[in-house]
Amino acid sequence: MTRKPFGRNGFFCSDCGYESLKWMGFCSSCHSNQPLVEAPSRSSSNRKGWINPVSSSLKELVSISYDIGSRISSGFQELDRVLGGGIVPGSIILVAGEPGIGKSTLLLQIAHQISLTKRTITYISGEESDHQIKLRADRLGISGKNVFLLTETNVETIVEHLEATLPSLVIIDSVQTLSSSDIGLAPGSITQVRTSVLTLLEWAKIRNIPILLSGHVTKDGTIAGPRVLEHMVDAVLYLEGEPLNANRIVHSQKNRFGSTNEVAMFSMESHGLKEIVDPSQTLLANRSLDAVGSSVVPTIGGSRPLMVEIQALTSPTYGPSPRRTANGIDLSRLVMITTVLTQRSHLNLGNRDVTVNVAGGLRIADPGCDLALALAIASCSKDLPIKQGLVAIGEVGLSGELRPVSQLNRRLQEASRLGFTSCILPMSAKHHKIQGLNLLFATTISMAIKIGLNNHTENRTL
Ligand code: TYD
Ligand code: MG
């Protein structure tokens, strides 16, 4: 039986990146209402003349060796941690973020840091002129030795330049400006972006040289490029933050060479991005100590604990049904906690809008923060502040019970380090002890509210 040859093109969903070999109209994976777009299939990228055809061969796993020290440090310890220990040679890393968030700044700073180790960097920009990049470099105090600029958008020309110079690192700003002469479509279209990245991917793997790409995403992450690219590149880093707030957070959405739970914090200053080495302290810096509706929880951000402040605001509902708004927390988690508070702790939230926010622009997906979230809502709803120096850790179940959480010791140590004096915990953690922290135990969310709120007039309705 003869096998059908693979077609050259596939059909891609611009929302989730799903690839179909046949035209199907709409995406059967995410059911997006965007029609599928034709683009070269990953399995059939045409080999270019500069690539030596490599014959594939079987290798026994045991016989494969690699050099553990071959990762290149980005010059930022925090970023290296998010990357899993540095930049892996031959990998393609996408740095995605909203326009103006600081991607070009970060990339130029990385170029500078790596250039200090006597490596050469090729910085390719399709968005800014040499002068604009030089202006930014001056602002950042970067001399630019060993950093070579190229303002080019054609991927074939880019690869020709790279082949001629073989730098230690390639930076491309941004992926949306790339185009391939094989395709007659405008730059930024999915077909152009995919084709260009496939060419670069092949080059990077064969030459074992890493490439950093920047990519714009809009608030809801809808722009085609980065979403489609997630499936192709080795790691996707998101640079996030509020434009008017100096804090920037880098986390990885995908990482073939490390954990995706790590977070790094930077601050955008007049001389570029600066690493924040003690994020817990920064996140709690502007907290008012006896504010109503504010609670603190030690959460786990990858390999280290992070203290975060959860703020809640409840107000009368004027619409037909109460609204729940979550910033930095999963909305379904908020809905669950408000329902449990209403049903199990008799908190009247049925005719109140509830808004919650994680201070500092952080996003948390840790169930251990449930109790702190519940306390913040209860505090606002009852107009009573949470006791000073208190943190709360625990997952909340549907019957209002408190459940155990992971990595408790590290969380408690972080709370103690930052000067907190007491902590509410689920009863299951009774055997824990930590110096300087008064541990208080509760079995239910109602009990925790009773312990946690600064209630001078005892016996209010719970
Ligand atoms: P930029 O890196 O150009 O963003 P992106 O590439 O993601 O579009 O950063 C733009 C913003 O950063 C701009 O609003 C100015 C600010 N910025 C500083 O605050 N300090 C600096 O040193 C630099 C270079 C930029
Ligand atoms: Mg830019």
Give residue-wise pLDDT tens across range 92-116.
999 999 889 999 999 999 999 999 9
Total Cβ atoms within 10 A of residue 366: 23
Q: How many whole angstroms from 89 Cα to the centroid of ligand 1?
A: 27
Q: How many whole angstroms from 267 Cα to the centroid of ligand 2?
A: 17
Q: Which numbered atom of ligand 1 lies nearest the CA of 98?
A: 7
> Among 268, 269, 273, 274, which is best to mutate for testing ligand 1, by the most ligand atoms less than 8 A from CB?
268
Q: How many whole angstroms from 355 Cα to the centroid of ligand 1?
A: 30
* Residue ID of nearest Cα to ligand 1 atom 16: 102
* Residue ID of nearest Cα to ligand 1 atom 21: 272
Q: Which ligand is nearest to the CA of 126?
A: 2
Helix (H) or strand (E) holding 308: strand 304-316
Q: Which ligand is nearest to the CA of 125?
A: 2
Instruction: State percent of the chain over pLDDT 90.
Output: 58
Q: Which ligand is nearest to the CA of 243?
A: 1
The confidence score (pLDDT) of residue 227 equals 67
Q: Are 308 and 369 in contact (CB under 8 A)?
A: yes
Q: Which of 287, 319, 92 is nearest to 206 (CA)?
A: 92
Q: How many whole angstroms from 41 Cα to the centroid of ligand 2?
A: 29
* Residue ID of nearest Cα to ligand 1 atom 23: 272
The confidence score (pLDDT) of residue 299 equals 93
- State the Cα angle at 228 between 34 and 38, rounded to 5°: 60
The two structure tokens encoding residue 184: 């007659």
* Residue ID of nearest Cα to ligand 1 atom 10: 100
Q: Which numbered atom of ligand 1 lies nearest the CA of 99?
A: 8
**Residues with C-beta less than 6 Å from any ligand 1 atom:** 97, 99-105, 136, 139-140, 268, 270-272
The confidence score (pLDDT) of residue 459 equals 43
Q: Which residues of the chain have pLDDT under 70?
A: 1-8, 15-17, 40-55, 67-69, 184-188, 218-227, 456-462
Using a 10 angstrom Cβ sphere, with 0-12 exposed, 13-18 middle and 19 or more buried, the burial of residue 286 is: exposed
Q: Are 164 and 150 in contact (CB under 8 A)?
A: no
Q: How many whole angstroms from 102 Cα to the centroid of ligand 2?
A: 7
* Residue ID of nearest Cα to ligand 1 atom 12: 102
Q: Which of 273, 280, 360 is nearest to 76 (CA)?
A: 273
The confidence score (pLDDT) of residue 187 equals 66
The confidence score (pLDDT) of residue 300 equals 87
Q: Which ligand is nearest to the CA of 176?
A: 2
DSSP 8-state assignment for residue 87: B
Compute CA distances 110 → 47, 48, 74, whole Å.
31, 30, 6
